[in-house]
Amino acid sequence: MKKFLNVPENFVDEMLEGIYAAHPQQLACAAGDLRCIVSARPVKGKVGIATGGGSGHLPLFLGYVGTGLLDGCAVGGVFQSPSADQMLEVTRAINQGAGALYIYGNYSGDIMNFDMAAEMADLEGIKVLSLVGNDDVASSPKGQEHKRRGVAGIFFIYKAAGAAAAEGMALDEVKRVAEKVKANVRTMGVALTSCIVPEVGHASFSIGENEMEIGMGIHGEPGIRRGALRQADEVVDEMMQPILADLPFVRGDEVAVLVNGLGATPKEELYVIFRRVASILKEAGIAVFHVYVGEYATSMEMAGASISLLKLDDETRRLLARPAQSPFFEQQQL
Amino acid sequence: MKKFLNVPENFVDEMLEGIYAAHPQQLACAAGDLRCIVSARPVKGKVGIATGGGSGHLPLFLGYVGTGLLDGCAVGGVFQSPSADQMLEVTRAINQGAGALYIYGNYSGDIMNFDMAAEMADLEGIKVLSLVGNDDVASSPKGQEHKRRGVAGIFFIYKAAGAAAAEGMALDEVKRVAEKVKANVRTMGVALTSCIVPEVGHASFSIGENEMEIGMGIHGEPGIRRGALRQADEVVDEMMQPILADLPFVRGDEVAVLVNGLGATPKEELYVIFRRVASILKEAGIAVFHVYVGEYATSMEMAGASISLLKLDDETRRLLARPAQSPFFEQQQL
Amino acid sequence: MDSIGKAELVPLFASLRDVFISQRDYLIDLDGKVGDSDLGLTMNKAFLAAYESVSANSADAVGRTLQLAGMAMAKAAPSTMGTLVATGFMRGGKALESFSSIGSAEMSLFWAAFLNGVIERGKAKRGDKTLIDVLAPVSESLGTSVACAATLPEALARAAEAAAKGLDATKGMIAQHGKAACFQEKTLGLQDAGATVGFLIVDTLRAFVAERKK
Amino acid sequence: MDSIGKAELVPLFASLRDVFISQRDYLIDLDGKVGDSDLGLTMNKAFLAAYESVSANSADAVGRTLQLAGMAMAKAAPSTMGTLVATGFMRGGKALESFSSIGSAEMSLFWAAFLNGVIERGKAKRGDKTLIDVLAPVSESLGTSVACAATLPEALARAAEAAAKGLDATKGMIAQHGKAACFQEKTLGLQDAGATVGFLIVDTLRAFVAERKK
Ligand SMILES: Nc1ncnc2c1ncn2[C@@H]1O[C@H](COP(=O)(O)OP(=O)(O)O)[C@@H](O)[C@H]1O
Ligand SMILES: Nc1ncnc2c1ncn2[C@@H]1O[C@H](COP(=O)(O)OP(=O)(O)O)[C@@H](O)[C@H]1O
Ligand SMILES: [Mg+2]
Ligand SMILES: [Mg+2]
Ligand SMILES: [Mg+2]
Ligand SMILES: [Mg+2]
Write the CATH number for B36.
Answer: 3.40.50.10440
Closest by CA to A105, choosing from A66, A37, A172, A155, is A155
CA distance D196 to D64: 26
Question: Which residues are registered as beta bridge partners of A203?
Answer: A196
Domain boundary among B150, B183, B216: B183
Report the half-sphere exposure of A224 (CA within 13 A, side-chain side).
Answer: 16
The DSSP code for B137 is G
Other C-beta atoms lying within 10 Å of the C-beta of residue C143: 16
Maximum CA extent, chain B: 55
Nearest neighbour of B85 by CB, restricted to D74, D84, D122: D74
Least confident among A26-30, B203-207, B262-266: B203-207
Mean pLDDT of chain B: 96
Model confidence at C33: pLDDT above 90:
no
- Structural domain containing residue A92: 8-183
CA distance B224 to D93: 44
Digit-coded pLDDT (tens) for A4-62: 999 999 999 999 999 999 999 999 999 999 999 999 999 999 999 999 999 999 999 99
Nearest neighbour of B330 by CB, restricted to A266, A303, A330: A330
Task: Check B273 against A3: CB less than 8 A apart.
Answer: no
Task: Check A301 against B266: CB less than 8 A apart.
Answer: yes
Digit-coded pLDDT (tens) for D2-39: 899 999 999 999 999 999 999 999 999 998 888 778 89
Other C-beta atoms lying within 10 Å of the C-beta of residue D79: 26
Query: What's the alpha-carbon Rg for chain B, to the nearest Å?
Result: 19
Q: Is the CB of D80 under 6 A from ligand 2?
A: yes
Q: Is A304 left (phi over 0), alpha (psi -120 to 50) or beta?
A: left
In B, which residues are within 8 Å of A266 by CB distance? 56, 58, 263, 298, 300-301
What value does the mean pLDDT take over residues B8-22? 97
Same domain as B22, residue B85: yes
| CA A100 to chain CA mean position, Å | 18
Model confidence at B297: pLDDT above 90:
yes
Digit-coded pLDDT (tens) for C97-108: 999 999 999 999
Model confidence at B288: pLDDT above 80:
yes
Same domain as B192, residue B106: no
Same domain as A225, residue A167: no
Q: Is C72 left (phi over 0), alpha (psi -120 to 50) or beta?
A: alpha
D54 CA distance to ligand 5 middle (Å): 25
Burial status of residue A267 (CB atoms within 10 A of its CB: 0-12, 13-18, 19 or more): buried
Domain-located, residue A321: no
Neighbouring subunits of D (3+ Cβ pairs under 8 A): B
- Chains B and C lie in contact, requiring 3 or more CB pairs less than 8 Å apart: no
Domain-located, residue A327: no
Domain boundary among A158, A183, A208: A183
Closest chain A residue to C122 measured between Cα atoms? A112
Residue nearest to atom 15 of ligand 2 (CA): D81
Predicted confidence band of residue D1 (pLDDT cuts 50, 70, 90): confident
Q: Total structural domains in chain A?
A: 2
Amino acid letter, B245: A
Residue B164: which residues within 8 A CB-CB, separation 6 or more?
B173, B174, B177, B178, B319
Neighbouring subunits of A (3+ Cβ pairs under 8 A): B, C
Same domain as B235, residue B144: no
What value does the mean pLDDT take over residues C23-40? 89
Closest by CA to A126, choosing from A154, A155, A157, A88, is A88
Distances (CA, A) of B258 to B25, B65, B149, C37, D125: 28, 19, 17, 42, 37
Closest by CA to A286, choosing from A184, A207, A216, is A184
Q: Report whether A266 contacts B263 (CB < 8 A).
A: yes
The CB-based long-range contact list for C33-40 (8 Å cut-off, 24+ gap) reads: C33/C190, C33/C193, C34/C175, C34/C179, C34/C180, C34/C183, C34/C186, C34/C187, C34/C190, C35/C178, C35/C179, C35/C180, C35/C193, C36/C179, C38/C79, C39/C79, C39/C81, C39/C193, C39/C194, C39/C197
> A with B: how many residue pairs have Cβ under 8 Å apart?
170
Q: Which ligand is nearest to the CA of B108?
A: 2
Residues with CB under 6 A from ligand 1: A 108; C 31, 35-36, 38-39, 42, 79-81, 84, 118, 122-124, 130-132, 177-180, 192-195
In A, which residues are within 8 Å of B55 by CB distance? 268
Phi, psi of A258 (to 5 degrees): -125, 115
D82 CA distance to ligand 2 middle (Å): 9
Q: Shortest Cα distance from B125 to chain A (angstroms)?
A: 35
Task: Check D121 against B112: CB less than 8 A apart.
Answer: yes
Q: In this predicted structure, what is the pLDDT of residue A1?
A: 77
Digit-coded pLDDT (tens) for B132-190: 999 999 999 999 999 999 999 999 999 999 999 999 999 999 999 999 999 999 999 99
Q: Which ligand is nearest to the CA of C77?
A: 1
Mean pLDDT of chain A: 96
Same domain as A212, residue A64: no
Helix (H, G, I), strand (E, B) or coil at C115: helix
Q: Shortest Cα distance from A123 to chain B (angstroms)?
A: 35
Task: Check B84 against D86: CB less than 8 A apart.
Answer: yes
What value does the mean pLDDT take over residues D162-188? 92
Domain-located, residue B249: yes
Mapped to the 3 state alphabet, what secondary structure does A267-325 carry?
HHHHHHHHHHHHHHHHHCCCEEEEEEEECCCCCCCECEEEEEEEECCHHHHHHHHCCEE
DSSP string, B183-245: HHEEEEEEESS--B-TTT-SBSS---TTEEEET--TT----SEEEE---HHHHHHHHHHHHHH
CA distance B252 to A324: 34
What value does the mean pLDDT take over residues A168-176? 98
Helix (H, G, I), strand (E, B) or coil at B105: strand
In B, which residues are within 8 Å of A268 by CB distance? 11-12, 15, 55-56, 58, 300
Domain-located, residue B325: no
Q: In this predicted structure, what is the pLDDT of residue D214?
A: 60
Model confidence at B199: pLDDT above 90:
no
Domain-located, residue B327: no
Q: Which of D83, D179, D183 is the best residue to mutate to test the B interface, defined by the most B CB atoms within 10 Å of its own CB? A: D83
Pocket test for ligand 2, best of D34, D84, D129 (most atoms within 8 A of CB): D84
Q: Which of A23, A57, A146, A290 is catalytic?
A: A57
Closest chain A residue to B261 measured between Cα atoms? A264
Digit-coded pLDDT (tens) for A178-197: 999 999 999 999 999 998 88
C178 CA distance to ligand 3 middle (Å): 8
Q: In this predicted structure, what is the pLDDT of residue D112?
A: 98
Same domain as B249, residue B125: no
In D, which residues are within 8 Å of B108 by CB distance? 80, 122-123, 177-178
CA distance D173 to D187: 7
Predicted confidence band of residue D184 (pLDDT cuts 50, 70, 90): confident
Digit-coded pLDDT (tens) for B226-256: 999 999 999 999 999 999 999 999 999 999 9
Q: What angle do CA A91, A97, A98 make, to 5 degrees?
A: 90
Domain-located, residue A13: yes
The per-residue b/e assignment along B5-27, b for 16 or more CB within 10 angstroms, e otherwise, is: bbeeeebbebbbbbbbbbbeebb
Helix (H, G, I), strand (E, B) or coil at A60: coil
Same domain as A150, residue A32: yes
Same domain as B116, residue B23: yes
Domain boundary among A153, A183, A213: A183
Q: Where are the alpha helices (DSSP H) in D57-192?
A: 62-76, 80-95, 104-122, 132-147, 152-169
Q: Report whether A121 contacts A147 (CB < 8 A).
A: no
Closest by CA to B121, choosing from B69, B171, B160, B79, is B171
The per-residue b/e assignment along D24-46, b for 16 or more CB within 10 angstroms, e otherwise, is: eeebbebbeebbbebbbbbbbbb
Nearest neighbour of A4 by CB, restricted to B11, B273, B327: B273
CA distance D132 to D166: 9
Task: Check A85 against C122: CB less than 8 A apart.
Answer: no
Helix (H, G, I), strand (E, B) or coil at A153: coil
CA distance A203 to A23: 31
- Which CATH number covers residue B300? 3.30.1180.20
Q: Is the CB of D39 under 6 A from ligand 2?
A: yes
| Ligand 2 atom nearest D31 alpha carbon | 17
Closest by CA to B59, choosing from A59, A268, A260, A274, is A268
| Ligand 2 atom nearest B112 alpha carbon | 1
Burial status of residue A237 (CB atoms within 10 A of its CB: 0-12, 13-18, 19 or more): middle
| CA A293 to chain CA mean position, Å | 14
Q: Is the CB of D124 under 6 A from ligand 2?
A: yes
Number of H helices, E strands in chain C: 9, 2
Q: Which ligand is nearest to the CA of D80?
A: 2
Question: What are the residue ranges spanned by the domains of chain C?
Answer: 6-213
Same domain as B50, residue B139: yes
Helix (H, G, I), strand (E, B) or coil at C169: helix
Digit-coded pLDDT (tens) for A266-283: 999 999 999 999 999 999
Other C-beta atoms lying within 10 Å of the C-beta of residue B250: 11
What value does the mean pLDDT take over residues A299-303? 95
- Percent of chain A predicted with pLDDT > 70: 100
Q: Which of B23, B57, B202, B290 is catalytic?
A: B57
Task: Check D86 against B116: CB less than 8 A apart.
Answer: yes
Digit-coded pLDDT (tens) for D35-84: 778 899 999 999 999 999 999 998 889 999 999 999 999 989 888 999 99
Predicted confidence band of residue B204 (pLDDT cuts 50, 70, 90): confident
Distances (CA, A) of A254 to A126, A224, C128, D105: 37, 28, 44, 70
Q: Is the CB of D42 under 6 A from ligand 2?
A: yes
Question: Which residues are registered as beta bridge partners of B67?
Answer: B325
Mean pLDDT of chain C: 94
Pocket test for ligand 2, best of D177, D186, D187, D201 (most atoms within 8 A of CB): D177
Digit-coded pLDDT (tens) for D122-146: 999 999 999 999 999 999 999 999 9
Helix (H, G, I), strand (E, B) or coil at B75: strand
Mean pLDDT of chain D: 94
Question: Which residues keep their CB under 5 angstroms from ion ligand 5?
Answer: D 31, 35-36, 38-39
Residues of B with CB under 8 A from a CB of D: 76, 80-86, 108-109, 111-113, 115-116, 119-120, 221-222
Q: In this predicted structure, what is the pLDDT of residue C214?
A: 61
Same domain as A14, residue A141: yes
Digit-coded pLDDT (tens) for A245-255: 999 999 999 99
CATH number of D6-213: 1.25.40.340
Task: Check C78 against A82: CB less than 8 A apart.
Answer: yes
**pTM, full prediction:** 0.90
Domain-located, residue A326: no
Other C-beta atoms lying within 10 Å of the C-beta of residue D185: 8
Q: Label the pairing between strands B100-105 and B48-55.
A: parallel
Q: Report whether D132 contacts D113 (CB < 8 A).
A: no
- Percent of chain B predicted with pLDDT > 70: 100
Closest chain B residue to A299 measured between Cα atoms? B266
Closest by CA to A136, choosing from A228, A237, A227, A242, is A242
CA distance C5 to C16: 16
CA distance B154 to B165: 16
Same domain as A206, residue A166: no
CA distance B200 to C105: 77
CA distance D109 to A313: 71
Closest by CA to C4, choosing from C100, C93, C101, is C101
Digit-coded pLDDT (tens) for A107-125: 988 999 999 999 889 989 9
Neighbouring subunits of C (3+ Cβ pairs under 8 A): A
Model confidence at B279: pLDDT above 90:
yes
Q: Which helix (H) or strand (E) holds C56?
A: helix C39-56
Q: Which helix (H) or strand (E) holds B306?
A: strand B304-311
Q: Shortest Cα distance from D151 to chain B (angstroms)?
A: 34
Model confidence at C213: pLDDT above 80:
no
B317 CA distance to ligand 3 middle (Å): 52
Phi, psi of B161 (to 5 degrees): -65, -40
A81 CA distance to ligand 4 middle (Å): 10
Same domain as A201, residue A80: no
Nearest neighbour of D71 by CB, restricted to B80, B81, B85: B85
State yes or no: is A23 an active-site residue. no
